[in-house]
Amino acid sequence: MELVKLTIDGKEVQVPAGTTVLNAAEQLGIHIPRLCHDPDLSPFGACRLCVVEIQGMRSLPASCVTAATPGMVVNTDTPAVHEARQTILELLMANHPQDCLTCEKMGDCRLADYCYQYGVKKSTFTGERQRHIADDGNPFIVRDPDKCILCGKCVRACAEITGKDNLDFAYRGFKTKVATFGDAPFLESECVFCGSCVSVCPTGALMEKPMQGKARRWELDRVKTTCPFCGTGCNFDLCVKEGQIVGAASNLGSAVNGRALCIKGRFGWDFVYSDSRLKTPLIKKDGEFVPATWDEALDLIADRLKDIRQKNGPEYFAALSSARCTNEENYLLQKFVRTVMGTNSIDHCART
């Protein structure tokens, strides 16, 4: 593999050819601000917040789409870079609602974080502002185009993570916005409500509807868990406040699914608090189901299975396993059926 040596903020680093300046800086522990870049998505270079100064270049290139070259000398925090980032943030704020005190994204908004870092309190650019109606006519996602900064992350997530291509840039110039085909509401579009777009959005333009008004992001404890809906084994974080689940979020460290989740994994957690959920074993006595301990229930199951095998033989027993169980659980079930019950009558719901 061809290696390239360059200098960033006075530190030398060696990276594989084709590595971007932004990723090279990350290897040195140097954070370059970015709004449109995400390691799970293709480079885009839309927000320009990641501009840097490179010796020999007249302009300030976006580091997320600039490849490192041998001998390149990069400076990431010069007065010119600092001024450019301030101007970019002021331009973004010129057409962005400043309702941070009541915005659901506050505490997890990259735009707000960078405005604080660069001392941008208001925009010096005045003029016409976009005014759109928020799309909240579905149970899962609230889309507020007024808070969109056109970073394109949701567009790329929908295309590259989910493969649906449900979102794209619509209209032109000042009227440009991210929209579905025909600018239809999410509920009338091809959206599968996987929430990948929500997971990458750096502002409050896309938010999980079930979490609205439940908690600020810094109030949440994130508990990693495994999705119970199928056998894929996707991991995600349960967002917990005061012992109560209020939502689910992608866990980027998951080896199985990374950021990706389906509608069930991201929005199907509310069954935990269903009134119909069984919280204790039930056994039938005198024709009625009554609560029992786990020992009572398991002993009853063991006695009944043993009785069936002894009276009727193994051929009277069969088992159907589930894709919602782990591979290990399904393995144990087939082992039990074959070695304990003495039959090969076992099938799986996903076999066909």
Question: How many residues appear in the chain?
Answer: 352
Strands 244-250 and 206-208: unpaired
| Residue 73, φ and ψ in degrees, nearest 5 | -115, 120
- What pLDDT was estimated at residue 351? 73
Residue 266 is encoded by which pair of tokens? 């991201």
CA geometry: angle 202, 206, 211, nearest 5 deg: 105
Burial bucket for residue 288 (CB in 10 Å: 0-12, 13-18, 19+): exposed
CATH fold, domain 3-77, is Ubiquitin-like (UB roll) (3.10.20)
Residue 182 is encoded by which pair of tokens? 């025909």
Considering only CA atoms, which of 171, 164, 168, 167 is closest in space to residue 132?
171
Domain assignments of the chain as residue spans, ordered by start: 3-77, 218-277, 282-348
Per-residue pLDDT of the chain (352 residues; tens, 9 = 90+): 799 999 999 999 999 999 999 999 999 999 999 999 999 999 999 999 999 999 999 999 999 999 999 999 999 999 999 999 999 999 999 999 999 999 999 999 999 999 999 999 988 898 888 899 999 999 999 999 999 999 999 999 999 999 999 999 999 999 999 999 999 999 999 999 999 999 999 999 999 999 999 999 999 999 999 998 887 889 999 999 999 999 999 999 999 999 999 999 999 999 999 998 898 999 999 999 999 999 999 999 999 999 999 999 999 999 999 877 878 889 999 999 999 999 999 998 877 5
Task: Count helices and strands (H / E) in the chain.
Answer: 8, 15
pLDDT in tens, 71-112: 999 999 999 999 999 999 999 999 999 999 999 999 999 999
| Residue 250, φ and ψ in degrees, nearest 5 | -65, 140
d(CA 236, CA 230) in angstroms, rounded, equals 14
Does this chain's domain 3-77 share its CATH topology with 218-277? no
Cβ distance 231 to 326 under 8 Å? yes
d(CA 315, CA 268) in angstroms, rounded, equals 38
- What pLDDT was estimated at residue 352? 58
CATH class of the 218-277 domain in this structure: mainly beta
d(CA 189, CA 174) in angstroms, rounded, equals 24
d(CA 342, CA 282) in angstroms, rounded, equals 28
The continuous run of DSSP H or E covering 170 comes out as strand 168-170
Strands 73-75 and 53-54: antiparallel
- What pLDDT was estimated at residue 118? 96
The single-letter code of the amino acid at 122 is K
